[in-house]
Each structure stands twice: as C-alpha cells, then as structure tokens.
Structure 1
Amino acid sequence: MKLFFSYLKSHCKTLFFAGTSVVIFCGIFALDNLPLSAVGYAALLSVCVGLVLIAADFLHFRKTHFQLLRLAKKVRYGLDGLPPAQNRIEADYQTVLQELYRGMTELVTDCDCSQRETEDYYTLWAHQIKTPISAMHILLQSDENENRSDLQDCLFQIEEYVEMVLSYVRLNSDNTDLVVKQYPLDSIIRQAIHKYAPLFIRRKIALHYQPVSFTVLTDEKWLLFVIEQILSNALKYTRSGGSVEIRLESGNTLIIADTGIGIAPEDLPRIGQKGFTGYNGRQDKKSTGLGLYLCRRILSKLSHTLRIESEVGKGTTVKIGLESTRLRVE
C-alpha cells in the first residue's frame, strides 16, 4: 500500500490535471444544458480508461522499483541490472550513474595499486633491514664492550619495531595469512618467554609461569605477536625488582599481570585506540600506542577478546579471552 501511495504522490500533478479537466467538462456540459446521461457516459468512459492506464503504469512502476532494490544489493559488482530508461530524464540519470560508477571503479583500482605498492615496499624494507640487524648481533656477541648490554637492548627494540611495521602492513593487506588450527598454548607462551628472557634477566624482573595444558583454536604467529607485545609493555613499565605473572584463568582466559607503574583510570577506556598513548606514553616520548592497537585488531580477527585492568602504582592485568566462535579451521 505504501508503494501505491508513493506512486500516486509521484503523479499528483497528472492526477490533478485529469481531475480538473473532468470538472471543467462537466461544468461546460451543465452550462450548455446537455443531457446528464451523455455527461455521465463520457465521464464513466474516461474514468475506466484512466484506471486501466493507471494500473498499467503502476505495474511498470512496481517492477522498476523491485529491479532497483535487487540492483542495490549487488551494485558494487556493476550496473548491468539497471532497468531500461523510459524517457530522456531517466536516460540522463543512468548516464550520470554510469559515469559515477566508472570514476569510483578507477579510484578504487588506483587506491588498491597504491596500497599494494606501499605494502610491497615496507615488506621488502622490513626483510632487508633484518640483514644488518643480524650482522650487528654477531658483532655484539664477539665484542666485550662495557656498553654491550645497552647496545643489545637497543638492537632488540629495533627488531621489535621492524616486526611491528611488518605486522601492521600484513594486517592491513587483503591477505593476513591466517593459519587457524588447534595449537598448544604452552608452546606459544614459551616462545614469547624465550625471546624476552634476556631482558627479564638484565632488568632483574621476576617471571612467574606455570606450564598450562590447554589447546587453543587460533593462528600461532599472530597470537604469539600479541603475547610478545604485552610482555614488551610489561617489561617497559615495570621497574627492577618487580615481577610479571602468566597464568590461565577460568579455563580459557590468559592472564598476563605485572607489578609496574599502572595505567591512569581515565586512560583505560581508550587503551588500544590507534595513536593513543595516554599519560605513560606522554612520559615515554618514544611510545606510539601502535602495539596495543595491533593487539586489539589481531585478537578481533582471531575471535579472541582483550580486557585490561590496572591500578596506578600497583600494576596492570591483561586478560586475553581465547574463545574462537567465528574461526574456521584450516
């Protein structure tokens, strides 16, 4: 019924003209004293013809309406389903739409090409920069310089930033190379611990971890990246003599808790937003906020969750929910 009223509204001028014409003719017939039967007969014929024309035109209007609705659902794939133009105005509208679609297609193609070139460049750069980093590692191992440990820390940070750039590029690409299957969580955690073990030792921060017997449906590489980022933040904001604890809670929630400086309450709701560093980030001028932003995006893709609780001066607890409701096993 709404469609019919919409049709009447779009033809209100035509209907008004037809109604006015009938009134004029009836008035003229009355003034000339013509028989009422002739007037009624002419009016009846006009109404019948008008109703037939209106019904035919409404059916065409209805058909076009549903064609356009179907086209709206697949318009991103092309304008091939456009109904034929019935007049010059419709043809002009279709020409405008086709030009807009062509321009949009060219713009999307250019953007895709530009994004692929950027991804290729940063991927190549990240792989090339690993060569001098590896060479620097070898040189430091054979060097007995008194600043060796500080240099190793700086080199480790460079490696982290390179991995972060590479992960950022991969995450924004069409193919994030997810390999989803069942993995032992203990193995993933141990890889992260092994990577950061030298930093725990040099900074004199205790690590408390009890092996867990739990398999998780996830992507090993991406979940490992998330755990590494959280451990990196814990080490960055925990002073010497502090501690970091890793444990499994409630069956499928991974807890990483530290005794660091904590996060201000007003910053907690925005933690993980792109570019947000909070009070701690403003104190540490080198912080970018990119790590936790990537963590949230990765965990969302993996159908996992991230929740952060913190108290200033007492520490931060990061909770990773390892549910896998939307993942498909390879």
Structure 2
Amino acid sequence: MRLLPGYLWGRRRTLLGFLCFLSIQAGVYWLYHLPSEPVVYTFVLTVVAGLVFGFADFVRCARHRRTLSAMIRSVPIDDRHLPDARDPVDASYQVLVRKLRDENARITGEQDHRLGEMNDYYTLWAHQIKTPIAAMRLLLADDRTDPGALGQELFKIEQYAEMVLHYLRLESLSADLVLREHDVWDIARDTVRKHAPIFIGSGVSLVFDHFSMPILTDAKWLGFALGQVLSNALKYTPRGTVTLRPDPSDARALLIEDSGIGIRAEDIPRIFDRGFTGANGRSELGQKSTGIGLYLARQVLNRLSHTISATSEMGRGTCIRIGFPDLTEP
C-alpha cells in the first residue's frame, strides 16, 4: 500500500519524537527504580493512545489525499472542492493554489482572446486576398492584358503576404530590431518606389520633394510602417494626391497627406485599434478592410519610440503625422 509508507515517511519526525518520549519515560522510571507493573501499564496506555490518534490522523490524511487525487484527475481543477486546511501550512498552500488558478485563468483568457482575434483576422485576410487572385485570373484569361495591371494585382498579393508575416513577428519584434542612423527621406523614397505600380495604376499623383531628416531607427520596420500608412492613403484616395513632407511646425516629424474621402471625426480615435475598419472599411469604395494595417503601423512605431497621430476632414482628406525623437536628446 503506497499510502501507508508515504504517511509514515511524512510523519517520521513525529514518530521519532514519540519514540524519544517513550525512551525518556522508560529511563526516568528506571532511574527511580519504580515497579515494573506501573511502568508497563503506562507504556501500554501511551502506545495505545498514540496508535488511536495516529490511526485517526491516517484516516484523515487518506481522505485528504483521495480528495486531492480526484481534483488532479478532473479537468479543469475546481479549487472550491479543496479539503479543509488542517493547519496554517495547508491554508498557505491553498492560497497559493488559488493564486496560481487565477493566474492560469488570466493567461488562458488572454491566449483565447489573441487566438480569436487571429482567427478573425486570417478569415478576413483569406477573403481579401482572393480579390487580387481572382483579378489576376481574369487578366490572364485575356490575351490583351496589360502587364502593368498584372503587376498591380501581384503587388497587392505581396503586400498581404508581407502584412501577415509582420503580424506574426510583432510579438518578437524587439529581438529583430537593428537600430541605426538613417535618413527618413531614403526610407520614404524606397517605400514610394515599392508602391509605384499602385500610384500609376490608380492615377494618384505624388508630391514628394527632397528633404533631410536623420533619425535613429530600424529601416526595415519603419519602411513597413510607412508602407501601411501609404497603402491606406492610396486605398481611399481615388485619383487624388498623396503628399509626403516634413511637418512645417516640427522638423522631427513626417506628414503623409492625401486628398481622399477622409475619416469621420468619431472614427479618428479608433483608427489605430486592432480590427477597427470604421465607415470607410465598410463602404463600397475599394476592398473591404482588415482593420490591421494602421494597427500594425502604430505597434511598430511605438516599439521604435516613434509616434503616430491622425487628423482628417470628410471629403477633404487625411493627414498622418509620424514623429521621431531628437538624436541629440539623452
């Protein structure tokens, strides 16, 4: 029986103390040369009392263990069924178990929430990426297809693939950062070149004069964030103008302005939230939005110690402002 050896081992100090007590008792009786009958009688009573109390404690311990074993086998564990604490140590362990339960519930809830958001995003992403794929299939079926039109749809697919990869890497972004001194102009120029097919295909004009703005950043991740902002501007600026320029009131900030449809005032505080699409994302203009691009841009810029904000007016356009810390600041 495994329970009995385990119980005896757990009570070894108590048993050792009891044996020491009997030894001391016998030694005292022997030193005083007491008659053997009362010595034996006292010894027997002490042993019997010890066995009675020991058996009662063993039964209680067995019940305690059966309750805990049943809880261990149950999924999930319900700490409300914990046996009553036998001593302060038991009570402390039960407090610890409840704290661990609460922490586990919190972590599980966060994981479930993230998994739900990820499933929602991938579902919408899968439907969204079907649009350029279907467009490419139609273009390929036409012998007169303009290669530029195919290039636009291919670029959209590449953008969606890049977005989902960065979405997955966002949790470990800090380990991937390589901070160096770069000029915002160079990063913005590369981003604009990458989006050139969309500018040409959608008939959107670009205003992008040369400027110098040295900053400390990660060129790859800043380029990704700028790409998300630029893609959003192109999506909601049909045959308008997109402008990239330094902020006249702050030489450490970049403005990305468009003459598109604008954003409702009540939507502006939420455009950087995960999954928020607003009225524009549900409109008939363009494709249905995932509501993830500007969220990723903000998350990346925050990790880079940059800032991002937006102002807009319906029917007039939107201005996204990205601020950079001063290199001379300690």
TM class, shorter-length: 0.5 to 0.7
> Residues 175 and 149 from structure 1, CA distance in 2 versus in 1: closer, same or farther, beyond 3 angstroms?
same
Alignment match, 1:266: 266
Tell me if the contact between 1:207 and 1:244 (Cα under 8 Å) persists in the aligned partners. Answer: yes
Partners of 1:278 and 1:102 in 2: how far apart?
Answer: 40
Amino acid at match of 1:304: H
Aligned to 1:251, the other structure's residue is in SS state strand
Amino acid at match of 1:190: R
Q: 1:247 aligns with which of 214, 238, 245?
A: 245
Partners of 1:279 and 1:107 in 2: how far apart?
Answer: 36
Aligned pairs for 1:95-134 (under 5 A) are 95-100=93-98
Q: CA deviation at 1:324?
A: 6.2
Alignment match, 1:278: 278
> Residues 154 and 178 from structure 1, CA distance in 2 versus in 1: closer, same or farther, beyond 3 angstroms?
same
Q: CA deviation at 1:265?
A: 1.1
Matched residues, percent identical?
A: 41
Alignment match, 1:204: 203
Partners of 2:315 and 2:277 in 1: how far apart?
Answer: 18
Tell me if the contact between 1:184 and 1:215 (Cα under 8 Å) persists in the aligned partners. Answer: yes
Amino acid at match of 1:158: I
Alignment match, 2:5: none
Partners of 1:109 and 1:276 in 2: how far apart?
Answer: 24
Partners of 2:173 and 2:202 in 1: how far apart?
Answer: 39
Aligned pairs for 1:42-81 (under 5 A) are none
Alignment match, 1:321: 323
Partners of 1:314 and 1:112 in 2: how far apart?
Answer: 40
Structure 2: 5+ residue stretches without partners:
1-84, 119-131
Q: CA deviation at 1:99?
A: 3.8
1:177 aligned onto 2:179: no
Partners of 2:99 and 2:146 in 1: how far apart?
Answer: 61
Moved over 6 A (4+): 101-115
Q: CA deviation at 1:96?
A: 1.9
Partners of 1:150 and 1:251 in 2: how far apart?
Answer: 38
Amino acid at match of 2:319: T
Aligned positions, number: 222
Tell me if the contact between 2:152 and 2:201 (Cα under 8 Å) persists in the aligned partners. Answer: no
Structure 1: 5+ residue stretches without partners:
1-86, 120-132
Q: CA deviation at 1:105?
A: 8.6
Partners of 2:308 and 2:174 in 1: how far apart?
Answer: 23
Tell me if the contact between 1:304 and 1:324 (Cα under 8 Å) persists in the aligned partners. Answer: no
Partners of 2:216 and 2:310 in 1: how far apart?
Answer: 22
> Residues 217 and 225 from structure 1, CA distance in 2 versus in 1: closer, same or farther, beyond 3 angstroms?
same
Aligned to 1:265, the other structure's residue is in SS state coil
Q: CA deviation at 1:310?
A: 0.7
> Residues 99 and 177 from structure 1, CA distance in 2 versus in 1: closer, same or farther, beyond 3 angstroms?
same
Aligned pairs for 1:135-150 (under 5 A) are 145-146=144-145, 148-150=147-149
> Residues 302 and 211 from structure 1, CA distance in 2 versus in 1: closer, same or farther, beyond 3 angstroms?
same
Alignment match, 2:257: 257
Partners of 2:232 and 2:107 in 1: how far apart?
Answer: 39
Q: CA deviation at 1:155?
A: 2.0
Amino acid at match of 2:251: G
Partners of 1:104 and 1:324 in 2: how far apart?
Answer: 43
Q: CA deviation at 1:113?
A: 11
Q: 1:296 aligns with which of 272, 279, 298?
A: 298
Q: CA deviation at 1:102?
A: 6.5
Tell me if the contact between 2:149 and 2:201 (Cα under 8 Å) persists in the aligned partners. Answer: no
Partners of 1:158 and 1:182 in 2: how far apart?
Answer: 31
Tell me if the contact between 2:148 and 2:197 (Cα under 8 Å) persists in the aligned partners. Answer: no
TM norm structure 2:
0.58
Amino acid at match of 1:245: T
Partners of 2:162 and 2:100 in 1: how far apart?
Answer: 39
Q: CA RMSD in A?
A: 3.7
> Residues 101 and 306 from structure 1, CA distance in 2 versus in 1: closer, same or farther, beyond 3 angstroms?
same
Tell me if the contact between 2:187 and 2:219 (Cα under 8 Å) persists in the aligned partners. Answer: yes
Tell me if the contact between 2:263 and 2:313 (Cα under 8 Å) persists in the aligned partners. Answer: yes
Partners of 1:193 and 1:235 in 2: how far apart?
Answer: 11
> Residues 155 and 266 from structure 1, CA distance in 2 versus in 1: closer, same or farther, beyond 3 angstroms?
same
Amino acid at match of 1:315: G
Aligned to 2:321, the other structure's residue is in SS state strand
> Residues 112 and 233 from structure 1, CA distance in 2 versus in 1: closer, same or farther, beyond 3 angstroms?
closer
How big is each residue's C-alpha offset from its partner over 1:201-237, in whole Å with a ceiling of 9 and x where there is no partner?
Answer: 1222111111221211111111101111111111111
Partners of 2:194 and 2:312 in 1: how far apart?
Answer: 25
Alignment match, 2:312: 310
Amino acid at match of 2:258: D
Aligned to 2:228, the other structure's residue is in SS state helix
Amino acid at match of 2:317: G
Partners of 1:170 and 1:258 in 2: how far apart?
Answer: 29
TM norm structure 1:
0.58
